[in-house]
Amino acid sequence: MRLATVLLALSLCAPAPLPAWGSKGHEIAAAAALRDLPAALAPWFLGQEDTLAAHVNDPDRWRESDPKEGPRHYLDSEPYGGPDAVPRDIQAAREQLGEDEFQRDGQVPWVIQDRVRDLAGAFQGGDPDQAAFQAAILCHYVGDLCVPLHTTVNHDGEQTGQKGVHHRWEGGLVDRLGDWQPEARTPVLGPDPLSAPWAWLQDSYALVATVLQDDAAASDAGAEAAQELERESRYWQVFERLEEPRVKEQLTLAGQRTAQMILLAWNLAGRPAIKSRRGLTGPVPGRGW
């Protein structure tokens, strides 16, 4: 009962749960992705840091006008039998779940594949401004798949009495990072790089139980205090100690994996050189699915 009381207090005093990392987390990942790009590809994005920062959160804004946008940011693994059982083929996934459940349970791995192809098209067009825009959109969905709670039906601790854990992990902890930036990591393409999102799905899902366990441990620590402010303070002390390293690692991976997908798109486009700077075409509509 004390655990539920502390969690309720934390969920009431926190803002409504943010989609994915929130603006700060996605901007951190976008900046890291540019730093991780190999030297041969980096000229495409020279001076484009502000473009990526300005557009990396566009997909969250699309949610306000497109009711189908929300499920593009996650994938619930359990209805498929776990992350290992999620089909690579989108039609097979539709047939396994049925169309309505497929729509509800999310599509982020396939969205990432489509955004890689969109970026490849921008590279083929030779316009670095459009490539930067498409890279920003791609970065958002890659970042979403690095969030453990975007891979489970227990998105916000609803099934475990931990309401608000989504925001506490990807918002509250990120806000407490200050000016921290991820280390640079070289992007490496595997033998089947377009299927990488399914490996990331498995990696993120493997963290879900620990995230929930650490949230519960932090709440138990907070429950020992008599005053509400002290309960909140103790909660964050413990949760930061347990989960801050994991948040940093997932943000670092979001940058590295985005760079990996940018490199893949460039390779798919034939590794073209820059031709012109024509300016952005503006937001692109979501997939119809």
d(Cα 284, Cα 55) in Å, to the nearest integer? 11
> Could you give the domains of the chain?
2-268 (1.10.575.10)
* DSSP secondary structure string for all residues of 118-174: HHHHHHHHT-HHHHHHHHHHHHHHHHHHTSGGGSSS-TTSGGGT-TTHHHIIIIIHH
Tokens of 192: 């089947």
Q: Which amino acid is at 21?
A: W
Question: What is the C-alpha to C-alpha distance for residues 253 and 98, in angstroms, rounded to an integer?
Answer: 32
| Nearest of 286, 289, 272, 288 to residue 60 by alpha carbon | 286
Tokens 């119809």 found at: 288
pLDDT of residue 279: 47
Q: What is the pLDDT of residues 15-34, one digit of tens each?
A: 444 456 888 999 999 999 99
As to burial, measured by CB atoms within 10 angstroms (0-12 exposed, 13-18 middle, 19+ buried), residue 92 is exposed
What phi and psi, each to the nearest 5 degrees, are found at residue 41? Answer: -100, -25
User: What was the pLDDT predicted at 16?
Assistant: 45
d(CA 174, CA 167): 10
Q: What is the pLDDT of residues 237-250, one digit of tens each?
A: 999 999 999 999 99
Asked whether 58 and 118 are in contact (CB, 8 A), the reply is no
Distance CA 243, CA 248 (A): 9
pLDDT of residue 224: 85
Would the pLDDT of 281 be above 60?
no
Sign of CA dihedral 142, 144, 147, 152: negative
75: β partners: 106
**How is residue 252 written in tokens?**
């670092």
Query: What per-residue confidence (pLDDT) applies to 230?
Result: 87
pTM: 0.90
pLDDT higher than 50, residue 223: yes
For the four alpha carbons of 148, 152, 157 and 161, in that order, the dihedral sign comes to negative
> pLDDT tens, 57-97?
999 999 999 999 999 999 999 999 999 999 999 999 999 99
CA-nearest of 163, 199, 189 to 268 is 189
